[in-house]
Amino acid sequence: MSTPPALTDCSLAIDGRVATLTFNRDDIRNALSGSSIGTELVSVVRWASECQDISVLVLTGAGSAFSAGGNVKNMKERTSVPVHEVQQNYRKGIQQIPLALYDCEVPVIAAINGPAVGAGFDLTQMCDIRIASTQAQFGETFVNLGIIPGDGGAWFLTRSAGYQRAAELTFSGRLVKADEALALGLVLEVVEPEALLARAQEMAKRIAWKPPQALRYAKRLLRLAQRMPLPEYLDICSSYQALCHKTEDHAEALQAFFDKRRGEFKGR
């Protein structure tokens, strides 16, 4: 296994083929800016994508919040910074998070332990699967501060919630509790706080048991389906499928099916 990135504001735990990244700055409600959380998140996402020994990445927060998004106290400082510098700071800073998560080849599960607002909410929508604690709240709150989702959140939110609901959440800047988030499709499940991480780990391990190469191809195809015309997409599907048919894991999966046992996959 390749060496994970060094971390200061986050911690990383590895259990088999599942990696869990925890944000550890409860003092600032795990804000992505004004801390090292954002840069460490990007480093871990890219590491997990490249590490062939990892099949699933889980993201969660320590303390009362998942992530408060941007650190509001730091926003005053930007009013005196030239506009082109602010633009570059976004491009080289927080916008690296959606780029890293979009390119990530392994499934990413968000275990949302508490409030996820602003960029913290957008971060949850960048993940493949979202499980929320009953204490979680969500809000696309940028407009309340006279700004917009500079992290590309509207791109992800319109895909997870649909245009009309994304518009209502963005224009109102209101907070959504966990039960409503479930009804809106913003999260897959809602569980009690004490069961959250165990449920996320259970789902992650079930996914991680699958053939690693097929899992990565499947995620890649889900992403491509968002932007490719059907004829070209089908061509890519046939190519990936042909590759899968020639893997050792496919042969093992077939044998395990006939033997009525769980397959032992090696990513080959």
pLDDT, tens digit, 9 for 90 and up, residues 153-193 = 999 999 999 999 999 999 999 999 999 999 999 999 999 99
Strand 137-139 and strand 116-117: the pairing is parallel
C-alpha triplet 77, 30, 32: angle, nearest 5°: 50
The pLDDT score that the predictor gives to residue 79 is: 65
Per-residue pLDDT averaged across 208-226, rounded?
95
Strand 18-23 and strand 10-15: the pairing is antiparallel
Q: Pick one of 3.40.50.1370, 3.40.50.1980, 3.90.226.10, 1.10.286.10 as the CATH number of 10-208.
A: 3.90.226.10
The pLDDT score that the predictor gives to residue 171 is: 97
**pLDDT for residue 77 is more than 70:** no
CA nearest 199: which of 262, 126, 115, 134? 134
The pLDDT score that the predictor gives to residue 78 is: 63
Percent over 90 (pLDDT), the chain: 82
CA nearest 47: which of 87, 103, 93, 8? 103
C-alpha triplet 127, 128, 131: angle, nearest 5°: 80
Spatial distance between the Cα atoms of 254 and 249, rounded to a whole number of angstroms: 9
The pLDDT score that the predictor gives to residue 60 is: 98
**pLDDT for residue 6 is more than 80:** yes
Per-residue pLDDT averaged across 80-109, rounded?
88
The mean-pLDDT minimum among 1-5, 60-64, 206-210 falls in 1-5
- pTM beyond 0.85, yes or no: yes
The pLDDT score that the predictor gives to residue 266 is: 87
> Which residues belong to CATH 3.90.226.10 in the chain?
10-208
The pLDDT score that the predictor gives to residue 33 is: 85
pLDDT tier for residue 87 given thresholds of 50, 70 and 90: confident
> Which residues belong to CATH 1.10.12 in the chain?
212-259
The pLDDT score that the predictor gives to residue 46 is: 98
Strand order in the sheet with 175-177: 116-117, 137-139, 175-177
The pLDDT score that the predictor gives to residue 116 is: 98
Spatial distance between the Cα atoms of 23 and 68, rounded to a whole number of angstroms: 11
Instruction: Please provide the size of the chain in residues.
Output: 268
More confident site: 85 or 197: 197
Structurally, at CATH architecture level, domain 212-259 sits in Orthogonal Bundle (1.10)
Spatial distance between the Cα atoms of 161 and 149, rounded to a whole number of angstroms: 16
